[in-house]
Amino acid sequence: MERLGIALGSGLSPDQIVRCVQLAEECGYDSAWIVEGHGGDQFSLLTACALATKKIRLGTAISSVFVRTAPTVAMAAACVDYFSKGRFVLGLGSSHKVQVEPEHGQVYTKPLERVRDYVTIVRRLLRDGRISYCGATVTIADFQLWFRPLRQELPIYLAAVFPQMLQLAGEIAQGVLLVWMAPSYMQFVAEQIAIGAGRAGRKLGDIQLASLLPASVSGDEKAAFDALRPVAAFYLGTFPRYRKMLAGAGFADEAARVQELWKSGDQANAAASVSDALIETVTIAGSPARCRQRLAAYRAAGLQLPILMPAASGPESEPQVMAAIRGCAPNS
């Protein structure tokens, strides 16, 4: 059976997230991922999901290396892995300067080096139970775990979209987590990951290629596309990284126009300026049958683990997400 994941967090309360993950497990999903942001503490939510499920893998997508210390991440990961009986995947990433500094009050510097430091610290601490470390961005005099992790080695996936981080994922990670990616981008992704893998004596096949795919599943195609326009406008208007990525996908003028409207405070027109072509290129939108076709296109391009990230807002968020889970369910 082809693997499919679900990413949750935005627009859902903690109890709704647990119910959606339970449904995803019933429907045969490979994994459930909690996104970073304002939707609640990832590790608390994943612990609740772990206690309410039996088989589905559980991951962070992603945990920022700028808002928690590396030992804190290691302890949290080990705890979720314990409660899930070995089903946890640690997704790590650098997040964004426009989030880290104004929202968390932390200095954003040397993201590539910091991700490498965090991966090293987490792995050594889980393996050895104690660490002293002096890296490019993190120095730890001495930290000791006071419990033995269920697993001394956890799978670590890195959020990446551009060459340096993709190569780092190929060098040190078990997987990569992409987002806002067109199927045509997969060849570039594979090439960059293979470069990093080669440096470490690894193969491309050692790294799972996964991507969060913004999704809206509805028999009303216009409604499905419309639900994703504000999401795309938010990403284009807020994050330079994704604006650059979508510009490279052929939407440079549109990305600039949406950003200008978003920065001016005109969010409604920013969303209205997101074209059907952009939604069609980098999201999963439409009827269940159409969404399955899009998933097949991503898989044909080399994506091994598509992860649906349903757009949901307001009092109907939970039914909207559950409709997406059921509409694309691997078991159906």
**Which pLDDT score is estimated for 178?**
97
Q: What is the pLDDT of residues 250-291, one digit of tens each?
A: 999 999 999 999 999 999 999 999 999 999 999 999 999 999
Does the structure show a pLDDT above 70 at 1? no
**Which pLDDT score is estimated for 11?**
87
Q: 148 and 233: one domain?
A: no
Q: 164 and 196: one domain?
A: yes
Q: Which two tokens stand for residue 323?
A: 């409709």
- The rounded percent of the chain whose pLDDT value lies above 90 is 94
User: 184 in a domain, yes or no?
Assistant: yes
What HEC string does the chain produce?
Answer: CCCCEEEECCCCCHHHHHHHHHHHHHCCCCEEEEECCCCCCHHHHHHHHHHHCCCCEEEEECEECCCCCHHHHHHHHHHHHHHCCCCEEEEEECCCHHHHHHHHCCCCCCHHHHHHHHHHHHHHHHHHCEEEEECCCCEEEEEECCCCCCCCCCCEEEECCCHHHHHHHHHHCCEEEEECCCHHHHHHHHHHHHHHHHHCCCCHHHCEEEEEEEEEECCCHHHHHHHHHHHHHHHHHHCHHHHHHHHHHHHHHHHHHHHHHHHCCCHHHHHHCCCHHHHHHHCEEECHHHHHHHHHHHHHCCCCEEEEEECCCCCCHHHHHHHHHHHCCCCC
Q: How confident is the model at residue 2 (pLDDT cuts 50, 70, 90)?
A: confident
Q: 163 and 30: one domain?
A: yes
User: 51 in a domain, yes or no?
Assistant: yes
**Which pLDDT score is estimated for 214?**
97
How many degrees, rounded to 5, is the angle at CA 214 between CA 212 and CA 216?
A: 140
**Which pLDDT score is estimated for 85?**
98
Q: 208 and 274: one domain?
A: no
Q: Residue 162: which CATH number?
A: 3.20.20.30
**Which pLDDT score is estimated for 128?**
98
The domain containing residue 256 runs over which residues? 225-283
Q: Which two tokens stand for residue 111?
A: 């993201």
**Which pLDDT score is estimated for 313?**
80
Q: Beta strand pairing status for 130-134 and 139-144?
A: antiparallel
User: 45 in a domain, yes or no?
Assistant: yes
User: 332 in a domain, yes or no?
Assistant: no
Q: 107 and 248: one domain?
A: no
**Which pLDDT score is estimated for 144?**
98
Q: 135 and 279: one domain?
A: no
Q: What is the pLDDT of residues 187-223, one digit of tens each?
A: 999 999 999 999 999 999 999 999 999 999 999 999 9
User: 264 in a domain, yes or no?
Assistant: yes
Q: 249 and 121: one domain?
A: no
Average pLDDT, the chain: 96
Q: 167 and 234: one domain?
A: no
**Which pLDDT score is estimated for 328?**
96
**Contact of 249 with 182, CB cutoff 8 Å:** yes
Q: How confident is the model at residue 17 (pLDDT cuts 50, 70, 90)?
A: very high
Does the structure show a pLDDT above 70 at 303? yes
- This prediction has a pTM of 0.97
Domain count, the chain: 2
Residue 118's region, left for phi above 0, alpha for psi from -120 to 50, else beta, is alpha
Span 106-114, mean pLDDT? 96
Span 46-57, mean pLDDT? 98
User: 153 in a domain, yes or no?
Assistant: yes
Does the structure show a pLDDT above 90 at 55? yes
Q: 192 and 271: one domain?
A: no
Q: 124 and 252: one domain?
A: no
Q: 229 and 215: one domain?
A: no
User: 259 in a domain, yes or no?
Assistant: yes
Span 159-166, mean pLDDT? 97
Q: 258 and 293: one domain?
A: no
Q: What is the C-alpha separation between 29 and 287, in angstroms, rounded? A: 19
Q: What is the pLDDT of residues 215-256, one digit of tens each?
A: 999 999 999 999 999 999 999 999 999 999 999 999 999 999
